[in-house]
Amino acid sequence: MNHLVQFGHAQKPFDQLNSIELADVNSRLHKKIRERAWAAGSPVYYGENGYLIAEYAGGKKMILEEINGQLLETREYHA
């Protein structure tokens, strides 16, 4: 398979990628983001099903909610 993004450089412009190529780039970028965040001891934050989620390296996912102006982990997310 031809890798489109290597060492941070694309082999062709993103607007010229087909859906399969875009899915491959997206998958590899998500993996790299997770690896870097977890290596630094940080969770990965993202939105899913209307919730803000903090995902930790061990697989634990927590829902974040705003309480008194602060984002706090309120409960575990199972989906």
Question: Is 47 inside a domain boundary?
Answer: yes
Question: Is 1 inside a domain boundary?
Answer: no
> Which tokens belong to 76?
């575990």
Closest CA to 1 of 28, 17, 24, 30: 24
Question: Is 46 inside a domain boundary?
Answer: yes
Average pLDDT over residues 56-78: 96
Tens digits of residue pLDDT in 20-56: 988 988 898 899 999 999 999 999 999 999 999 999 9
pTM of the entire structure? 0.71
Question: Is 64 inside a domain boundary?
Answer: yes
What total number of domains does the chain contain? 1
- Domain residues for 25? 16-76
Question: Is 9 inside a domain boundary?
Answer: no
Question: Is 30 inside a domain boundary?
Answer: yes
Average pLDDT over residues 4-24: 73
Question: Is 40 inside a domain boundary?
Answer: yes
Average pLDDT over residues 49-74: 96
Question: Is 42 inside a domain boundary?
Answer: yes
